[in-house]
Amino acid sequence: MNEYESVTRDLCEFIAGAPSCYHVISQGASLLEKQGFQRLSEQERWEIKPEKSYYVIRSGSSLIAFHIPAGSPHHFQIVASHSDSPSFRIKEEPEIRKADHYVTLNIESYGGMLKAPWFDRPLGIAGRLMVCEGDTIRQILADSGEDLLMIPSLAIHMDRKANETAHSSVQSEMLPIFGDENSFGSFLRQMAEKAGVLVESIVGYDLFLYNRTPYSIWGADREFFSSPRLDDLQCAYASLRAILHAAAENSPEADSISVCCLFDNEEVGSRTKQGADSTFLQDILERIGTSMGWDREQLLIMLSSSFMLSADNSHAVHPNYPDKADPVNRPFMNGGVVLKYNANQKYTTDAVSASVFRSICREADIPVQTYFNHSDLPGGSTLGNISSSHVSVNCADIGCAQLAMHSPYETAGTKDTFYMIKAMEAFYDASVNFLPDGTVTVRR
């Protein structure tokens, strides 16, 4: 097994243990705590010290970690990714009897997913249960841990035009089968048993379907791999690995505070209290400043020289649809980290931020590719432009090239997670200074 495949396997094991955004944050917190990161509460005063590392969780599904260097930092270096993926959310009172024999679960779409690949796959259920114990309501992670559901497709004999249209009604044609008539009334009881709580204690839940197909490394030279939730756990995992590296290095020459953000709800617009379009990042940076004794002006000076990498996966050129890509800027899997541009600022990369990122990667010998949308095909937005509306910093949008984005089973290159981790490590290691005359210095 080469180094690329080893990192890929580590990523896929992380993803397998993170079937929901709540599990992503729980796993991330565990990785951080093993290396000495201390959890802080937004409900308490902070006492931040040099050469220490900390993290904060908001709403159970978003996390911000940071490392304070030994010296006197004069800016932040931030990496932002997201913890959520397109899926189906289970509604309240979910069990529906169908055809006088089956029990299905009532669901709704979360995010803009490809629907067709959800058919005929083993599905599980994961998320959180809110459990009432006396006067206390607490969050419990829940995972069915087994193949529990299926959304069966309709046979071609009953729909001769099935291959001519991709439209499927979520409400009437995609409800997953939970069991036969004997299973009615057992859904919440089964989830309670899996979580080790009494069903009577459950007062609320956020539960989602997830694809239980195991990851696969494949290709003539094992150069590709497929897994659920690569968008955006590939970048989220890389950012966690990178900030662990930054904290472990703890270089005495470091002049920046390393910050790692995992936001929830990117797939539905980020406009929640724990999303990138909230005050979460702004609040944490301000509280760091307050704890370190800065006044408001000093914090603004820090922000003016700060830099963010918005890390969210990118589209690779599709071999069967090459005309969907830009004719020149054509990223491929295993080609290196993708730098993303958009004239309408759906991506925040500009000449300045691109130059800084390319300089860091060139020094670290990390290949960089470029991505533009096909000019006639509008693309989606991501975290950078949203976060920058609250915390105004220089920003570049990056990602790993992948295929089948927003499918429950996505494909990427086995080298690219390694490249992304190394690029983020190099970013945290670098000293980036934006000077008043518009020049930038980048040192490693």
Reported as a single tens digit per residue, the pLDDT across 29-85 is 999 999 999 999 999 999 999 999 999 999 999 999 999 999 889 899 999 999 999
Which residue, 278, 310, 290, 301, is CA-closest to 390? 278
Pairing label, strands 314-315, 401-403:
parallel
Domains of the chain with CATH codes: 3-85+228-443 (3.40.630.10), 87-211 (2.30.250.10)
For position 404, what pLDDT does the model report? 97
Residue count of the chain = 444
Answer yes or no: are the C-beta atoms of 264 and 84 closer than 8 Å: yes
| Cβ-count burial 266-287 (b if 16+ within 10 Å, e if not) | bbeebebebbbbbebbebbbbb
The two structure tokens encoding residue 144: 């069915």
**How far is residue 72's CA from residue 307's CA, in Å, rounded to a whole number?**
17
For position 374, what pLDDT does the model report? 92
The H or E element containing residue 105 is strand 102-110
- What residues does 183 pair with on adjacent strands? none
- What residues does 226 pair with on adjacent strands? 216, 411
Q: What global pTM score does this model have?
A: 0.96
For position 250, what pLDDT does the model report? 81
**How far is residue 281's CA from residue 45's CA, in Å, rounded to a whole number?**
17
Q: What is the DSSP letter of 373?
A: B
**Crossing angle for the helix pair 230-249 and 416-429, to the nearest 10 degrees:** 40
Place of tokens 């020049």: 439
Answer yes or no: are the C-beta atoms of 315 and 402 closer than 8 Å: yes
For the chain, which ranges sit under pLDDT 70? 1
**How far is residue 384's CA from residue 406's CA, in Å, rounded to a whole number?**
19
For position 1, what pLDDT does the model report? 66
| DSSP state letters, 257-273 | EEEEEEES-GGGTS-ST
**How far is residue 7's CA from residue 238's CA, in Å, rounded to a whole number?**
10
